[in-house]
Structure formats: C-alpha cells, structure tokens
Amino acid sequence: MKKIAILGSTGSIGTQTLDVVRENGDIEVLGIAAGSNISLLEEQIREFRPRIAAVWTEEKAKELRVRIADTDTEVVEGMDGLIQVSTMQGAEILVTAIVGMIGIRPTIEAIKSGKHIALANKETLVTAGHLIMPLAKEHQVSILPVDSEHSAIFQSLQGNDRKAIHKILLTASGGPFRGRTQEQLMEVTVEDALKHPNWSMGQKITIDSSTMVNKGLEVIEAKWLFDVDVDQIQVVVQPQSIIHSMVEYVDGAVLAELGTPDMKLPIQYALYYPERRYLPGDRVDFWKLRHLDFEEPDMDTFYGLKLAYIAGRRGGSLPTVYNAANELAVSQFLKRQIKYLEITEIIEDCIRAHKVIEHPTLEQILETEAATYDRINSRR
Ligand code: NDP
Ligand code: MG
C-alpha cells in the first residue's frame, strides 16, 4: 500500500484526490487537513480512517473531536497541526491541495522529513521556489506537479533530456472573459467571474483564471519546476482546454499531452508516477472534436499576466508581492469589497512600490506578505 497525507482534503483537488484513492483501492491516507469544513472532514475520517486530521481553528478542532470521539483519529490544529500532517511518519507523498501561501511552511517541513510532494499549491512554489527546489534536491525528494499544465509538461518531458528544452508552451483557456475589453470588464460581478468555461475548481483559482493571474502564477511555477527562464515560457490560448501544455525542443519537435479537462488524470499521474493506471471518464473523440483553436493572450486587457513576467524575471521577493497582493485582492473581491478590475490594479500598485529583497529567507517572504497586506489594507 502506498501511504499519503493530504493538505486541503475538503477542497476541489483534495476531494478529487480522495476519489482517485477510492477508485484505486491501494493507497492508505494517513493524514488529512482542512480549514473549517468539519462536516466533510468527519465524513472523510469515517471513510478513510486517517491517523491524524488537522483543522485550522481551535473551536472547530474542539467540535470535531466531539463528533469523532468514537474513532481512532487524533485531531490537531493550527500551523502545528498542518506540520504534523505534513511530516507524519510513514507517509511517502504529501499532496499539497491547500490554497495560498499558507502552504509554504508545511511543504518545507515535509521535504525536510523526506516526503515527495504532489504539488497543487502553486502559491508556495511561486513565492518560495528558490528555497523549495534546492531543498528537494538536498533531501532527494521529487516535486510532482498536479497542476494540469505542469503535469502535461512533465509528461511531455519523459524520456527526453531537459537540456534540450527550447521553449515551454503553456496553454490557457482564456477564462470566461476571453475576447473582452477592459471597459467590458468594469462591472463584472463575483458570479460572472466564478463561471469558468471548462474547469470546475475552488473559488480563488476560478477568479485567478478569469483575470489570467492564474496563468501568471503558472509561468513562475513552471520556471521553478522545469528550471527555465520565464522568457522561455510562451502562453498560448487554447480555448477548448484539450491540449494541456507542450514542450518545444531544440530541434523544433513539439510534444504535448492532450485529454479531456479532468484533474483526476494529473492527480493520479503524480500519485503513481511513473506508472500509468486506467482512469474511467470521458476521452477525447477527435472525430467529434474536429478542430483545436489557438490564440495569442491579450496581455493588455489581462495585464496581470504581463505583471507575472515582470515579477518572475526580477525574482527575489517580487513574486511574493505579486502573489500576496493577488491573494488579498481576490478575497476582497469575493467579499464584494472591491471591483473586479481593482484586483490587477492592486497587484500593479504593490509591485511598483516594493523594494526587492534578493534571495529572501522564509521569514522575509512572510514579512513581505504582511507588508503587502498592510499596504492594501491602508488603501481602504
Ligand atoms: P479549494 O478552495 O477548493 O480548497 C482549498 C482547501 O484548502 C480546502 O480543503 C480548505 O479547507 C483548505 N484550507 C484553506 N485554508 C486552510 C487553512 N488555513 N488550513 C488548512 N486548510 C485550509 O481550492 P482548490 O482545490 O481549487 O485549490 C487548491 C490548490 O490547488 C490551489 O493552490 C490551486 O491554485 C491549486 N490548483 C487547483 C486546481 C483545481 O482544479 N481546483 C487546478 C490546479 C491547481 P476548507 O474546505 O475547510 O475551507
Ligand atoms: Mg493549471
């Protein structure tokens, strides 16, 4: 039995990871962690019988302890709880399906305790890639991409020499507002932005997909995962989301991974790599599909993507500012405190104001996050 632990088990990636576990029947889930959804956590505890379950707040942890008093699962809480799940003895892989920079410390601790990381939590790599990648090398653990584009790139790299990469072609659906102008985006509501054409995902990443900040984060994520310059990464809009990304080699050959939009494929690939397993579900029918479309991204309207190239190229603490500003701005937009276009305006403002720290330590990353939050909060 393969043994894993999952951060963010109640979310979109977390629940699909548990679907993959259930369908395969040969993975043991030793630990799970969530924020506050203790009803779902209770169901998961009863089905998967993990040794530990972590909850973010003390009150929710207390409540969960009462609810599952008849089971053998221990309930832990807060950052210590997340770290306990991340480093638990016996787990070989940690699936990081938590949302946001809160994943940095648990991911670092998991690597130090020798766990392979099935990484969905891109915010961690965007902000701390310069710490995580060397640490993973030092501890000889793999960072296995769960993000569909990065999984596609990883699959397209199998059997090839990474030194022969000429370019990475990172595909994007373009989101629900593809083809619109800034003016047409002025009155976008939360409901409009939450309607993704192809993928069903958590709220934060769905908003990020609509602004194309998600693609920006993915450019920086790819830079770390595949050790390329951001300028070697070209974003290509592929509205059907069938081509999940491609690699162009020095000889001009382009290798791609195609499939229907279903996160279970990259999740399962990361969990069983290098093995491929049967996966039920829709398959691409090329007779019905008939054609695939491609476009250049509109980086003037969706300039959050352009800002990611600026942050990724400059490096240091600037990607942290990009990410942290986006995290807070998106949460304010979801609470209807700011307008849609302000999300990108806020990111730009924070990037302009920041004095870059080269090679920031973990503490400096967290300080940069706090300073970015202070700047945004002082606007209101
Ligand atoms: P969701 O919002 O659906 O889920 C987030 C998970 O994190 C939930 O389990 C949530 O718990 C948990 N969580 C939030 N805050 C805390 C906290 N303080 N302590 C512990 N757990 C916490 O997000 P997604 O699954 O969509 O995304 C997860 C990550 O994967 C993100 O980084 C995203 O960018 C990435 N990703 C997602 C894809 C997708 O298809 N969804 C595709 C590619 C990448 P609770 O339910 O209790 O709030
Ligand atoms: Mg993606």
DSSP assignment of 78-144 = HHHHHHHHHT-TT--EEEE---SGGGHHHHHHHHHTT-EEEE--HHHHHHHHHHHHHHHHHTT--EE
CA of 121 to the centre of ligand 1 (A): 8
Compute and round to an integer the Cα radius of gyration of the chain. 20
The three-state secondary structure class of 165 is strand
56 ligand 1 Cβ < 6 A: yes
Q: How far apart are CA 298 and CA 182, in angstroms?
A: 11
Using an 8 Å Cβ cutoff, are 59 and 78 in contact? no
Pocket test for ligand 1, best of 98, 209, 241 (most atoms within 8 A of CB): 98
64 ligand 1 Cβ < 6 A: no
Using an 8 Å Cβ cutoff, are 308 and 208 in contact? no
Residue linked to tokens 């305790």? 113
- Compute CA distances 321 → 61, 126, 352, whole Å: 32, 10, 10
What was the pLDDT predicted at 128?
A: 98
For residue 149, list its beta bridge partners.
none
**pLDDT category of residue 198 using cuts at 50, 70 and 90:** confident
- CA 5-170-351 angle, to 5 degrees, is 85
**pLDDT category of residue 379 using cuts at 50, 70 and 90:** confident
Determine phi and psi for 358, rounding to 5 degrees. Answer: -75, 145
User: Of the candidates 280, 281, 290, which has an alpha carbon nearest to the alpha carbon of residue 240?
Assistant: 290
210-237 per-position pLDDT tens digit: 999 999 999 999 999 999 999 999 999 9
H or E segment to which residue 237 belongs: strand 233-237
Sign of CA dihedral 370, 325, 189, 12: negative
**pLDDT category of residue 71 using cuts at 50, 70 and 90:** very high
Q: List CB contacts of 30: < 8 A, sequence separation 6 or more.
A: 3, 4, 5, 50, 51, 52, 88, 90, 91
Which atom belonging to ligand 1 lies closest to the Cα atom of 263? 40
User: What is the rounded average pLDDT of the residues 37-51?
Assistant: 98
H or E segment to which residue 258 belongs: strand 254-258
Using DSSP, how many helices (H) and how many strands (E) does the chain show? 17, 11
Pocket test for ligand 1, best of 6, 7, 12, 148 (most atoms within 8 A of CB): 12
User: Of the candidates 54, 218, 209, which has an alpha carbon nearest to the alpha carbon of residue 121?
Assistant: 218
33 ligand 1 Cβ < 6 A: yes
User: Of the candidates 329, 332, 353, 354, which has an alpha carbon nearest to the alpha carbon of residue 343?
Assistant: 329
149-196 per-position pLDDT tens digit: 999 999 999 999 999 999 999 999 999 999 999 999 999 999 999 998
CA of 224 to the centre of ligand 1 (A): 21
Average pLDDT over all residues of the chain: 97
Residue 303: pLDDT above 90? yes
Q: How far apart are CA 355 and CA 241, in angstroms?
A: 37
For residue 295, list its beta bridge partners.
237
User: What is the rounded average pLDDT of the residues 22-27?
Assistant: 98
Percent helix, percent strand, percent coil in the chain, to nearest 5: 50, 15, 35
What was the pLDDT predicted at 164?
A: 98
pTM of the model: 0.98
- CA 92-94-98 angle, to 5 degrees, is 170
Residue 109: pLDDT above 90? yes
Using an 8 Å Cβ cutoff, are 185 and 175 in contact? no
110 ligand 1 Cβ < 6 A: no
Residue 380: pLDDT above 80? no
